[in-house]
Amino acid sequence: MQITPLQYIANWVNRMGSFPEWTRADVRLDDEGNEIRGGNAYRAFVAIDFTRPGSQGREINTTYFITAYQPEARPDELLVLVFQTDQTDYDDWVAEREQLEEGIVLAD
């Protein structure tokens, strides 16, 4: 069964509450209060904030930035990237993550 990048991202969002170790899971908001989530038929993305247990009972506030790509020539395949960082460091890594993504060239 073929799944589009938008469907893949929607599955992540819909399943956020099903991970019992995750608490306070939600789509991350930008400075204007809009969800960091979007895309089209060939690339979709979402940023998810959640809290998970760490060592010694400490809570760790984590962000996943998930991007799904679908090559036009191969509609039955997806390339998925998951970038993970501490919630407080997310903004510091945006430029580097975007630069990395810009360098991705999908073969035909």
Q: Whole-prediction pTM value?
A: 0.88
Is the pLDDT at 106 greater than 80, yes or no?
no
* CA-to-CA separations, 98 to 5, 16, 43, in angstroms, rounded: 18, 24, 13
Is the pLDDT at 108 greater than 70, yes or no?
no
Cα angle 49, 102, 43; round to 5: 60
Where do we find the tokens 């989530």? 37
Q: What is the pLDDT of residues 74-96, one digit of tens each?
A: 778 899 999 999 999 999 999 99
* CA-to-CA separations, 108 to 33, 41, 71, 73, 74, in angstroms, rounded: 37, 16, 7, 6, 8
Where do we find the tokens 């809290």? 51
Any bridge partners for residue 45, and if so which?
Answer: 38, 67
Strand, helix or coil for residue 43: strand
